[in-house]
Amino acid sequence: MDGWRGPGILLALLLLVCPLPTLACPHTCHCWAGDVDCRQRALHEVPLLLPTNASTLWLGYNLITVLGARAFPSLPVLLRLSLTHNRLERIHRQALLGLGALQELDLSDNYLSVLSPETFLPLTSLTTLNLGYNRLEELEAGVPHSLPQLQTIFLNGNPWMCSCSILPLWRWLGHNREKVPGKSSLQCMFPESLNTYPIMAFGNDSFQQCQKVPLSAQHYAAFLLIGPFSFLASIFCCTVMGSIVVIYQHLRKEPQTQRRPLSSGGC
């Protein structure tokens, strides 16, 4: 038994120093020291099997168009994820589940036009988000609001539509200028009359027509009461008017009947 003690201790030490990998590196990628490099591999989707100890995942310069629900395996220690220069058009609301430790997310140079705030809710540790050079015409203020640790967001290079729909983003920018590098370069592309106009140059007066005063509960209650009463009143008025017309026509015919000439027979 003593003969086995030495090799057993040596094996235990080796396992502590060099733990067995939980998942092998995808054959299309290159892995080392927590980095998984899958760039320029003509990938159409995220590899299904990724090392669970990955801290950085490079997926840029591929052909990924959609991130479906749970697009990534659970990566509990992933800190950086790059999807730049793909063909991303849509991200499912549950695509980023399992990436709770993520701190940096690069989605730049894609075809994204719509983003849901729910998509980013799992990223409670995210500090940097790059949305530059996509096709965003507007951005819900709920997107940055859903990221409690957000420190930096890149929004440059998007074709912003400067209508009432951009008001929530404009308000958020006004209170978070320090989080948006190059904010002065954010420009309208539409409508044509505002092309290249800086978004940050708008004043509060620019959105006066967009400011809608919300109705109170009393207003809604009044509408609910006025509606049925107006309907009944219209029926009553129609009934009265109809009766008056019938009576008027009846009275108009009665004198004509009395003045009708008698027949000449027998006189």
| Distance, CA of 244 to CA of 249 (rounded, Å) | 9
Question: What is the pLDDT, as a whole number, of residue 213?
Answer: 52
For 78-120, write each residue's pLDDT tens digit. Answer: 999 999 999 999 999 999 999 999 999 999 999 999 999 999 9
Specify the length of the chain in residues: 267
Report residue 264's pLDDT band, with 50, 70 and 90 as the boundaries. Answer: very low
- Provide, for the chain, the percentages of residues in helix, strand and coil under a 3-state DSSP scheme, each rounded to the nearest 5: 35, 10, 50
- The CATH superfamily of 34-207 is Ribonuclease Inhibitor (3.80.10.10)
Written as six digits, the tokens of 1 are: 């038994």
Q: What is the DSSP string of 177-206?
A: GGG-TTGGG-BEEESGGGTT-BGGG--GGG
| Distance, CA of 43 to CA of 40 (rounded, Å) | 8
Question: What is the pLDDT, as a whole number, of residue 133?
Answer: 98
